[in-house]
Amino acid sequence: AWAKALATDERQAFEDYLEQFPDGGHLVEARARIAGFLAQEEAEARARAEAQRADDEAWRQALNRNTTASLDDYLQRFPDGRHRQEALAAREALQRAAADDEAFAAARGIGRAAAYQSYLEAFPDGRHVADRSRSGNRCVARRQASRGRREPAILRPAPGDRPNRSA
């Protein structure tokens, strides 16, 4: 039994030895080996807990920053992290929002109904399509697309929009 325990070098084998031979000649050695396995298991559990804590903290920081760079940093540091799927989804949402904002800014820059209509076709559920005020007024994109005007539209920002200062 002792030779088997030494050959397998597993905690269970040494525990089996002690169970079969509670007063055996290798009692002290078997207990020492078991204690070593337990200490190793505890150290591994602490390391896993610390890794999870670091993962969670990095995820919290990435969420607080809420940028593609912060999410990329999280994914690079924790490629198999606990929050990997959430990070990928958040990154995709940020990229979609940025593309939406860029398309709307381009439509505003052009200021014609066709440009707004193109925006609406590309982003039918975009951030700038939804009603922007409690009074039920439609958003700038829908107003401009529905006008069908050829001359540049005079744009008034909807509540929450930033003024276009580049014009």
> Which parts of the chain have pLDDT scores under 70?
130-167
Q: What is the pTM of this model?
A: 0.61
| DSSP code for 111 | -
**137 within 8 A of 131, measured Cβ to Cβ:** yes
**153 within 8 A of 144, measured Cβ to Cβ:** yes
Give the chain's mean pLDDT. Answer: 84
The stretches of 9-156 forming alpha helices (DSSP H) are: 11-20, 27-65, 68-77, 84-110, 113-122, 140-147
